[in-house]
Amino acid sequence: MSPAPLIEMRGITKSFGAVKANEAVDLSVAPGEILGLLGENGAGKTTLMNVLFGAYAPDAGEILIQGRPVRIISSADALAAGIGMVHQHFHLAPRLTVLENLLIGIPGKSGRIDRAGGLARLAEIGRQHGLTLDPDLPVSTLSVGEQQRLEIVKALFRGARLLILDEPTAVLAPSEVDGLFSALRSMAAQGLGIIFISHKLNEVRALTHRCTVLRHGRVAGRVDDPANTTSAAMAQLMCGHEIVPPARGPSTPGAAVLTLDGISTSKHAGTVLRDVSLAVRAGEILGIAGVSGNGQRALAEVISGVRAPDAGRMTIAGQKVSRFSPREVQALGLGRIPEDRMTTGLVTNLPLADSMVLPRIGTAAFSAKGLLKPDAIRAFAEEQIKAYDIRCPGPMTRAGALSGGNLQKALLARELAFDPKVLIVSQPTRGLDIGAARFIHEKFLDMRAKGCGIIVIGEDLEELLVLCDHIAVMYEGRIVGTLDSADATIGRLGLLMTGAEGHG
Amino acid sequence: MSVVLEQIFQVGFLAAIIRIATPLAFATLGEMFSERAGVLNLGIEGIMLLCAMTGFTETSLSGNLWLGVMVAVLTGMLMGALHALFTVVLGLSQHVCGIGVTLFSSGLAYFLYRLIFGQQSVPPSIKGFQTLPIPVLSDIPVLGPAVFNQFTLVYMAIIAIPLAAFVLYRTPWGLSVRMVGENPRAADSAGVSVIATRFQAVILGGALMGLAGAFLSMAQFNAFTFGVVSGRGWVAIALVVFGRWDPWRSAGAALLFAFVDALQLRMQASGLGHIPYEAFLMLPFIFTIVAMAFMSRNAVAPSALLKPFRREER
């Protein structure tokens, strides 16, 4: 690669209390280079990038830009040094327009916002990299892909020469990923440096020129030729041991444990369901694929009894659901793991034990005569913490203090302890590292073998292909096709997800 | 009834609306700037009272009206800075601190007033602002005497509305204010200081509240009494919501409230004497409640309102 790196981080060390998030990390990016930054959750990727972007000051180490040492202690410093970052959760103001989001923090012209200059610059960036946006639309009307494009344009707008992207593909449909990659390649071809953070090894192999792998805050290894390195080898670098994908053995599905027949919703905000019919049999895993916002949330809410449909029929274990309340569907044998662990999954400010019994708080197991049985609750939580290896100081720990992987284990434990006949999960491994995801997957396959029917709503197609027997694709509130996972490919699913194959 | 209506809609009626709307417009714009930056300022009622007191005191001691206005504005900025220190820098609860600022400011106003003026049988008064007719414009029939024969502070309020809209929508600082009120993290990652921007917006808000207080004690009543603000600060908070956090709409809301208030004053004075005057006094507030009930349903507050910003938290 080029002799003078665009940016170089040397010996970066950053501790939070007793925890060393980064220890003596070296990293460099040359102009025109796309560097993959790999690592499990908690490996220190985000901390390292926050040091580079000025959110944290490192305890030791230095940052050099084109060979010159620089001091970056705020975002403003980072921007001035030509570093732009596209965060995983976008930093946009939804009610302001595209142009206003671009012009924030940019000095005006004679005291006024420089609208003409902004428009010209936006058009220029659009021409250079094929990143076009309507300047006067409010950001809230943009799709997730467009919002991400705006974040990238925002960085370029500020003259970024190094662009950091934190898990940029997690929110995109496969077709949008191609668009992102071609834009990134175009930027690299024009001499920009790019740091691409991702969990998805196939994407890293397709896009990056070089990789740095972090583990426990240190550099675990570097990969000089990602395209010709196997995903297994990279995964091993990340985890420190070999990762075997879970094997989904053959199963003999039994009777349908969950059926939806012509379910439609209209009343609520968000995408509505249109005439959705599906069935999950005992001992079967059904995947629901789709770009987020195509009715998956409404589907999960109807099945969990949070939202009543306007039309259609639903049965659980052969019994018709009549009232659509969470208590009713739970009594019929449904377990659910909601999409957002922190807001609908559990109560972050209460002890973990309370969250773990929350859906069954009124049952005889945990209360009697209108009073809670604290000992029973505590004992249940302790038992599950042991069984699922939930890493926490104890059942009375505040739930919000646990890591994502441990929270997901806790939610899983809470449902599986009651042997549900059917389980609905949304984005089961989002934000989890390979080890934790592996654990969750194994539990699902165990349940499948025991005759539980499982619905997995997800955006990660690879995960669905590994896990599911069938995959149904949602587009604009409808099921537009159902594929046997043996016949399904990412390409076919991707086409269905964009509505291209029509109604299958 | 027609006699009553005639009495109500005299030429002076329009002028009264404008006069009543002036302190409300200042206060509403001040609260709006603060809230657009994400900081609810419940200190407004007490800040207005304290500013009315300090402005009045300065003028009655020095005899200089504009010096009094300056002192009132400075007092407002200082109290704004106090509120910002608690809520923006220290990240404390905006509700609790706001109420604290109101109680503190009110108490301070009473205390200082007694300390300086003592207990007098006739409350001291000043020679307040006199109306300043604007040549040519004040000769326009109806509109001229109503709008262009007013106090200078009224003209300032009229100018403040488009100026506030310009600052908020057309300047980089105004964009920063809107951004820190919607998504402070976005502003921070764009290199804008959330703390500084919020601080400035709350202080600007305090200055406007100071003008509102000054108007009450130095143009409208020419004296300081403990009831000089009498809920106008709370009304301004409602008017910000009613005006959907927009300078033009907020000013419109202030005018509408002033219209109802002027109307009830006329009704009190008119031949409807068999109704207790307290019933009329209620009208503007009933109007506010009803208007809020209808309007605030689709009002969308700045997303980051009430949320303190700490960079390390995610």
**What CATH code is carried by the domain that includes residue A62?**
3.40.50.300
Residues A261 and A235 in one domain: no
What tens digit of pLDDT does each residue of B204-214 get?
A: 999 999 999 99
Smallest CA–CA distance, residue A81 to chain B, in Å, is 12
Closest partner CB to A87 (pick from B174, B189, B312):
B189
Rounded to whole angstroms, how far apart are CA atoms A26 and A217? 11
Q: What mean pLDDT do residues B228-246 have?
A: 94
Mean pLDDT of chain A: 88
pLDDT tens digits, one per residue of A402-434: 777 888 888 899 988 888 999 999 988 877 777
Instruction: Tell me how close the Cα of B179 comes to any Cα of chain A, in angstroms.
Output: 6
Pairwise CB contact (< 8 Å): A105 & B190: yes
CA distances from B314 to A171, A287, A302 (A): 19, 31, 31
B182:A96 CB<8 A: yes
Bridge partners for A224 per DSSP: none
> With a CB-CB cutoff of 8 Å, which residues 1-30 of chain B face chain A?
none
Average pLDDT rounded to a whole number, residues B153-180: 96
Tell me which residue range forms the domain holding A267: 256-333+420-497
Which percentage of chain A shows pLDDT scores above 90?
Answer: 45
Q: Which of residues 243-302 of B touch A (CB under 8 A)?
A: 300
Instruction: Tell me how far apart the alpha carbons of residues A16 and A39 are, in angstroms, rounded to a whole number.
Output: 19
pLDDT tens-digit series, residues A191-214: 999 999 987 788 899 999 999 999
Residues 6+ apart with CB under 8 A from A155: A84, A85, A86, A163
Specify whether A199 is located in the same domain as A281. no
The residue with tokens 């509408």 is B256
Global pTM value: 0.79
- The C-alpha of B165 sits at a distance from chain A's nearest C-alpha, in angstroms, of 12
Under the banding of pLDDT at 50, 70 and 90, the label for residue A344 is confident
For residues B203 and B301, the model is more confident at: B203
Contact A380, A356 (CB under 8 A): yes
**A402 in any annotated domain:** no
What mean pLDDT comes out for the span B3-27?
A: 82
Look at residue B12 and tell me whether its pLDDT is greater than 70: yes
Pick the residue with more confidence: B306 or B274? B306
Q: What is the pLDDT of residue A388?
A: 87
Contacts 24+ apart (CB under 8 A), B151-158: B151/B19, B151/B22, B151/B215, B151/B219, B153/B22, B153/B69, B153/B129, B153/B211, B153/B214, B153/B215, B153/B218, B153/B219, B154/B18, B154/B19, B154/B22, B154/B219, B156/B211, B157/B21, B157/B22, B157/B25, B157/B26, B157/B211, B157/B215
Nearest residue to A301 via CA among A457, A475, A469: A457
Q: Is A85 an 8 Å CB contact of chain B?
A: yes
**Residue B5: which pLDDT band, with cuts at 50, 70 and 90?**
low
Average pLDDT over residues A153-161: 92
Distance from the A108 Cα atom to the nearest Cα atom in chain B, whole angstroms: 6
The CATH class, in words, for B2-125+141-295 is mainly alpha
Is residue A504 very low, low, confident or very high in pLDDT (cuts 50, 70, 90)? very low
CB neighbours (10 Å) of residue A369?
5
Q: Is B176 on the interface with A (CB under 8 A)?
A: yes
If asked whether residues A206 and A302 sit together in one domain, one would say no
Which two three-digit tokens encode residue A319? 């019994």
Is the pLDDT reported for residue B24 higher than 90? yes
Lowest mean pLDDT among A304-313, A328-337, A466-475, B142-151: B142-151
My answer on whether A274 and A179 are in the same domain is no
Radius of gyration of chain A (CA): 24
Residues A78 and A182 in one domain: yes
Regarding predicted confidence, which is higher, A188 or A17? A188
Q: Is the pLDDT of residue B6 over 80?
A: no
Q: Do B191 and A75 touch (CB under 8 A)?
A: yes
Q: Tell whether the model's pLDDT for residue B265 goes beyond 90.
A: no
**Binary contact (A107, B303; C-beta < 8 A):** no
H helix and E strand count, chain B: 13, 2
Domain boundary among A239, A274, A293: A239
- Decide if pLDDT at B76 tops 90: yes
Q: Do B172 and A113 touch (CB under 8 A)?
A: yes
Q: Are A105 and B187 in contact (CB under 8 A)?
A: yes
Q: Residue A44's pLDDT band (boundaries 50, 70, 90)?
A: confident
Contact state of A53 with B189 under an 8 Å Cβ cutoff = yes
From the candidates B173, B180, B189, B244, which should be mutated to test the interface with A, based on the most A CB atoms within 10 A?
A: B189
pLDDT of residue B119: 85
- Listing DSSP states for A217-250 in one string gives TEEEEEES-GGGS-HHHHHHHHHSS--PPPP---
**Structural domain includes residue A349:** no
How far does the CA of residue A106 sit from the closest CA of chain B (Å)?
A: 7
CB contact residues (below 8 A), chain A span 145-174, against chain B:
154, 158
CB-based contact, A267 to chain B, within 8 Å: no
Q: How many CB atoms lie within 10 A of CB B127?
A: 11
The residue among A155 and B123 whose pLDDT is bigger is A155
What is the band of A503 on the pLDDT scale with cuts at 50, 70, 90?
Answer: very low
Report residue A88 as tokens: 């995983």
A210 and A272 assigned to the same domain? no
A108 versus A435: the higher-pLDDT residue is A108
Per-residue pLDDT for A18 more than 80? no
Question: Does A106 contact B172 at a Cβ distance shorter than 8 Å?
Answer: yes
Q: Are A222 and A190 contained in the same domain?
A: yes
Tell me, yes or no, if B182 comes closer than 8 A to chain A by beta carbon: yes
Same domain, A102 and A163: yes
B125 in reach of chain A (CB within 8 A)? no
Domain count, chain A: 2
Per-residue pLDDT, averaged over A95-114, amounts to 91
Q: Is A11's pLDDT higher than 90?
A: yes
Q: What is the mean pLDDT of residues A23-47?
A: 90
Q: Is residue A389 part of a domain?
A: no
What local confidence, expressed as pLDDT, does residue A196 receive?
Answer: 96
Task: Quickly list DSSP for A398-412.
Answer: BGGGS-HHHHHHHHH
A113 and A260 inside one domain = no
Q: Picking from A34-48, B12-26, B148-162, which range would have the lowest pLDDT averaged per residue? A: A34-48
B190–A75 CB contact, under 8 Å: yes
With H, G, I as helix, E, B as strand and everything else as coil, classify residue A67: coil
* Interchain proximity B300–A95, CB inside 8 Å: yes
pLDDT tops 90 at residue B120: no
Chain B contact present for A111, CB below 8 A? yes
Contact criterion met (CB < 8 Å) for A100 and B303: no
Question: What is the average pLDDT value for chain B, to the nearest integer?
Answer: 91
Please name the member of A104, A108, A111 whose beta carbon is closest to the beta carbon of B187.
A104
Are A230 and A294 in the same domain? Answer: no
A221-258 residue pLDDT tens: 999 989 888 888 888 888 887 767 777 878 788 899 99
Q: Where are the domains of chain B?
A: 2-125+141-295
Hey, of A41, A52, A75, A97, which one would you mutate to test binding to chain B, going by the most B CBs within 10 A of its CB? Answer: A75
A93 to B303: CB separation less than 8 angstroms, yes or no: yes
Residues A216 and A285 occupy one common structural domain: no
Is residue A381, in this structure, part of any structural domain at all?
A: no
Note whether A113 contacts B190, CB cutoff 8 Å: no
- Pair (A111, A140) in one structural domain: yes
Across the A/B interface, how many CB contacts are shorter than 8 Å?
Answer: 75
Q: Do B303 and A101 touch (CB under 8 A)?
A: no
